[in-house]
Structure 1
Amino acid sequence: MVSSATRGRPRSFDRDTALDLAIRLFWRKGYEATSVRDLSEELGIGTPSLYNAFGDKKALFTEAVSIYDREYGGFIEAAIQDAPTSAAAVRRILLEAPARYTRHGLPHGCLVASGDAGTTDSEIHDSLQHLRSEKAQSLSDRIRADISAGQLPEDTDADGLSGYVMTVISGLAQRASEGATKAELTTIADIATRSCP
């Protein structure tokens, strides 16, 4: 029998664990298709506790994307920073994406690439578009630096090449979320690398 002292007490939970569950739910379903009820059930907490811990759905999604990009993403930035040349960075990004988007035990695809699919919320769309644009700009800047250093032809279109790479990996993420295997995605990535300078 539940005592009057414990009845109605909010269920305790680990915030980081709950946040990771939210990240994975948004990763699978996207912002628009994920309801507050879905989140409450996935996290195992009542709606009041959800709001108390994270704010509204939009605030939770924003926090989830930030943590996702740091904990589950980051391979694009790492390639740009660590590869010896922009050409090597491009190759590394394209060839690493298939494994990243089909990791065992995690949702397939990419939250940053498709988390805003179908949403009519301009703030959500704009925030993810800004994040995607930042990644593309970082790659463009790296390519432009190599052009200036004579490592790439002067007529290389830095923005065009960066846009191409980002478009390919966005497509790979989409295909992964639809069930494509790592091997299938790697075949596509191999073709894409051969078309790059």
Structure 2
Amino acid sequence: MADKSPGRPREFDRDDALRAAATLFWQYGFSGTSTRALATSLGISSSSLYAAFGSKADLFDEAVRTYALRYSAVYDVALAEPTLAQVIFRLLAGSIREFVRTDDGHPGCLTSSAVMVDTSATLDVRTFVTDLQRRDEGRLRDRIERSVLAGDVPPGIDAATLSGLVQTLWHGLSTRADLGADVTELTSTAELAVALLSLERSAGVSR
């Protein structure tokens, strides 16, 4: 008898599986998404799903962490911009593109959607997301403080207040994306926000 292979080959692409799972969680919430529905969407058996991800909570945890890190990566790009106006606009515009990624088939921001408070089973990943967002806000605040010292912003700007305002805009844009706003509408809002902050004089905020 031929020896069995040491492990069964994966029947799916993990990244594709995470995207499919995230879409279901967005649509139906953690509690409303059954393991059977997940397995069907991923094109695998329930036993293969458990083998690959563990429990449904483990799959949710990995999907949320994956998307949270993608959102956080937007900060890496934005914070490298030369002026504060460009930093804020790139942060908002880059996040908008993530919120409305039609190739992933999702309606908005998973990390700020109602599914995050669906059940106590998501407490660990909620803590992870909260800590990550606080870290990113701290990175933005530090960048604003450097701009204040460099005279890159109008006088009287408080770094903590401005970083809080930008994070509030971020969450508002993500919520509107959840409600179906498209990239053009959301980007126009971001442009207007930077203009109202009187930061547009610092340098181009064109798309």
TM over 0.5: yes
Q: In structure 2, do the counterparts of structure 1 residues 83 and 173 end up closer, same or farther at CA, with 3 Å as the change threshold?
A: same
Preserved contact between residue 78 and residue 91 of structure 2 (Cα < 8 Å) = yes
Preserved contact between residue 32 and residue 117 of structure 1 (Cα < 8 Å) = no
Q: Which amino acid aligns with 1:39?
A: L
Matched, 1:42 2:41: yes
Q: Which amino acid aligns with 1:13?
A: E
What is the root-mean-square deviation in Å for CA atoms of aligned residues?
2.7
Q: Which residue does 1:161 correspond to in 2?
A: 162
Q: Which amino acid aligns with 2:56?
A: K
Q: How many residue pairs were aligned?
A: 187
CA distance in 2, matches of 1:194, 1:166: 17
User: Cα offset for 1:140?
Assistant: 1.0
Q: In structure 2, do the counterparts of structure 1 residues 104 and 70 end up closer, same or farther at CA, with 3 Å as the change threshold?
A: same
Q: Provide TM-score, normalisation by structure 1.
A: 0.78
Gapped runs of 5+ residues in structure 1? 1-9
Q: Which residue does 1:183 correspond to in 2?
A: 184
User: Cα offset for 1:15?
Assistant: 4.4
CA distance in 1, matches of 2:162, 2:174: 18
Report % sequence identity: 35
User: Cα offset for 1:33?
Assistant: 4.1
5 Å-filtered alignment, 1:1-197, equals 12-16=10-14, 17-70=16-69, 74-80=73-79, 82-106=80-104, 107-114=106-113, 116-121=115-120, 122-153=123-154, 155-196=156-197, 197=199
Q: Which amino acid aligns with 2:43?
A: G
Question: Which stretch shows the higher mean deviation, 44-53 or 70-79?
Answer: 70-79
CA distance in 2, matches of 1:102, 1:54: 26
Q: Provide TM-score, normalisation by structure 2.
A: 0.75
Per-residue CA distance 1:41-64 (angstroms, 9 max, x = gap): 211222222121111122222222
Preserved contact between residue 68 and residue 129 of structure 2 (Cα < 8 Å) = no
Gapped runs of 5+ residues in structure 2? 1-7, 200-207
CA distance in 1, matches of 2:136, 2:115: 17
